[in-house]
Amino acid sequence: MSEPRKLEVLRAIVEDYVHSREPVGSKALVERHHLGVSSATIRNDMALLEEEGLIAAPHTSAGRIPTDKGYRLFVDRISAMKPLSAAERRAIHSLLEGADDVDDILERTVRLLSQLTNQVAVVQYPHSTRAKLRHIEFVLLAPRQVLVVLIADSGKVEQRVVDAGVDVSDEDLTLLRARFLSGISGAPLAHLPQLLAPVVALCPPALQAPAAVLARGLDKLAESSRDERMMMAGTANLARSNVDFPLSIGPVLEALEEQVVMLRLLSEMAEDPRGVTVSIGRENPYDGLSEASVVATGYGPGASAKIGIIGPTRMDYPSSMAAVRAVARYLSRILGS
């Protein structure tokens, strides 16, 4: 059996199955693709492919369907990304119109991506680990309640209300703000914990207590600014591909709701040289996604944040990969401005 033809057969099987959702047999294969050989030969090839675990038969007298491993080989060695249509390109470009703040851009982006691929789209907020502190603000809301605001040079603003424990005045706060600012202005958020202690120590004895509280508040803010968020769209697409999830889409929905899970999943996806990473079925570290595939890539500075889609293993990988890559590039461009 010739190696190239074997791959060609696998490709044909994957494409037909993705298209028809039905196990594909040797005869149908030679009819739909001009492979230049007879069905008997294809049968032999298929037996080989099955031995290697690339395809499987649901029951004795049915055609074959690709396994996770088969999809993997298809993605890695056989398929080429399918260029987007003109209409799709236009849709991506028109995304720019009325682009507003980051939230708005990301929301439009996931919606677009989910429509382009007919899958669930997810996007991780841009990283800000290296963000530096630009500004802080203490605002007295009530005699003991202080609103602490932290502004990073990435433009991100975090706020939280803390209870000072004792009554403080506006003047106290102004003083404290100045002290804090001189101590930590411009520092990377990651260094905040170490920098705050000495600042508190230098404050006037009378203000030690509230200073400590405020420091803890800032610390928490820096922390929550480091922690990550995501956004998604197109969950209704899961209902359409209901049949593709043998059990139910329940576990997938659960996974999507657990942002922690999704974020870890996205960030664990190693960067592929081709620019788009694919994780297929059981390759996924999370059990609930064992029937699903993830197509993702990085975007933004250093491609550090991730964007991608999630769908059944039986998906159109070439198109999905192309769409994810195109959208990610465009997103990088918009945010880079």
Partner DNA sequence: TCTTAGCACTCAACATGCCCAAGTGCTAAC
Partner DNA sequence: GTTAGCACTTGGGCATGTTGAGTGCTAAGA
Choose between 38 and 248: whose C-beta lies nearer to a copy of itself: 248
Residue 257 touches which member of a copy of itself, DNA, none, C-beta under 5-8 Å by kind = a copy of itself
Chain positions contacting a copy of itself, by CB under 8 A: 100-101, 134-135, 137, 139, 141, 147, 149, 151, 153, 155, 157, 159-161, 233-236, 238-240, 242, 248-251, 253-254, 256-257
Residue in the block written with tokens 């942002």: 259
Measured distance CA(166)–CA(144) in Å, rounded? 6
Indicate which of DNA, a copy of itself, none lies near residue 62 (CB less than 5 to 8 Å, by partner kind).
DNA
The listed partner (a copy of itself, DNA, none) that binds 181, CB under 5 to 8 Å by sort, is none
List residues binding DNA (CB under 7 A): 1-2, 5, 23-28, 36-41, 43-44, 46-47, 50, 57, 59-64
Least CB distance from residue 24 to DNA, whole Å?
Answer: 6
Nearer to a copy of itself, 234 or 308 (CB): 234
Most distant pair of Cα atoms in the chain: their distance: 92
Among a copy of itself, DNA, none, partner that 236 touches (CB below 5 to 8 angstroms by kind) = a copy of itself
Which H, E and C letters describe the chain, residue by residue? CCHHHHHHHHHHHHHHHHHHCCCECHHHHHHHCCCCCCHHHHHHHHHHHHHCCCEECCCCCCCEEECHHHHHHHHHHHCCCCCCCHHHHHHHHHCCCCCCCHHHHHHHHHHHHHHHHCCEEEEECCCCCCCEEEEEEEEECCCCEEEEEEEECCCCEEEEEEECCCCCCHHHHHHHHHHHHHHHCCCEHHHHHHHHHHHHHCCCHHHHHHHHHHHHHHHHHHHHHHCCCEEEECCHHHHHHHHHCCCCCHHHHHHHHCHHHHHHHHHHCCCCCCCCEEEEHHHCCCHHHCCEEEEEEEECHHHCEEEEEEEECCCCHHHHHHHHHHHHHHHHHHHHC
**Nearest CB to DNA, comparing residues 59 and 87:** 59
Residue 32 or 130 with smaller CB distance to DNA = 32
Nearer to DNA, 35 or 139 (CB): 35
- Among residues 310, 316, 309, 324, which one has the least CA distance to residue 274? 324
Chosen from DNA, a copy of itself, none, partner binding at 234 (C-beta under 5 to 8 Å by type): a copy of itself
Q: What span, in angstroms and rounded, lies between the C-alpha atoms of 251 and 310?
A: 13
**Residue 49 or 278 having the CB closest to DNA:** 49
The least CB distance from residue 6 to DNA, in Å, is 10
Q: Binds 141, which of DNA, a copy of itself, none (CB < 5 to 8 A, cut-off by type)? A: a copy of itself
To the nearest whole angstrom, how small is the minimum distance from the Cβ of residue 161 to a copy of itself? 5
Closest CA to 175 of 150, 145, 199: 199
Q: What's the token pair of residue 238?
A: 């899961």
Nearer to a copy of itself, 257 or 271 (CB): 257
Could you tell which of DNA, a copy of itself, none binds residue 61, using a CB distance below 5 to 8 A set by kind?
Answer: DNA
Which of a copy of itself, DNA, none does residue 63 bind (CB under 5 to 8 Å by kind)?
A: DNA
Q: How far is the CB of 337 from a copy of itself (least distance, A)?
A: 10
Rounded least distance, CB 220 to DNA, Å: 56
**Shortest distance, CB of residue 174 to a copy of itself, whole angstroms?**
13
Judged by beta carbon, residue 29 or residue 263, the one nearer DNA is 29
